[in-house]
Amino acid sequence: MEKAFNCKMCGQCCQGNGGIVATIEEQMAMADFLNICLSEFQDQYIRKSKDKFFVQTSRQGTCLFFIPDQGCRVHPVKPRTCRAWPFFRGNLMDESSFDMAREYCSGINPDISFNEFVRQGISYLEEHSLTSEMTNTPANALNISGVRGQGAEGRRLKEEGRRLKAEGRRKKAEGRRKKAEG
């Protein structure tokens, strides 16, 4: 079976000012990895917005931890959101979002179907305990509730449910008809 994603370490996913949420635990791990105290780490790398902490970006919109031609400076302890790419909620829920991500990210297999991407994505997130259902992360991208059932298997199960309901209604109507005749 073909893999849905194979990271090329190109840094495309490190671009943009969208916001990588970093929990206090993740911040502590990155601070330890960089051999600095948490408060220094937060002063240099974190911005707070409401109740969430985000990794800052450069003026060019690149994550402060991304080093061109080298990759992520904190790769072994990078936040869950980064580890989950490209299996974000939007890409798992919406085929047009998946198509845009596939065009943007060279690591996404260009031949993989949306349904297979969803299947492998959910499996990857669960296997690595990256969903917000499994962790205390406030990152919305990792909230996959409602994603199950979006792929081919989910559609098959829904269709099977509809078929069984229709069959039940048909049998009920047939029973009423026989009772009326009898």
Averaged in consecutive runs of 10 residues, what is the pLDDT profile of the chain (182 residues)? 90 82 95 98 94 90 91 93 91 93 94 94 90 56 59 49 63 75 74
Q: CA-CA distance, 161 to 153, in Å (whole number)?
A: 12
Handedness of CA 137, 5, 67, 72 (dihedral sign): positive
DSSP track, the chain: ---SB------GGGBSSS-EE--HHHHHHHHHHTT--HHHHHHHHEEEETTEEEE-B-TTSBBTTEETTTEETTGGG--HHHHHTT--HHHHH-HHHHHHHHHH-TTB-TT--HHHHHHHHHHHHHHTT-STTTS----GGG--TTTTTSSHHHHHHHHHHHHHHHHHHHHHHHHHHHHHH-
Please report the pLDDT score of residue 18 as a whole number: 67
Full-model pTM: 0.71
Q: pLDDT value at position 165?
A: 62
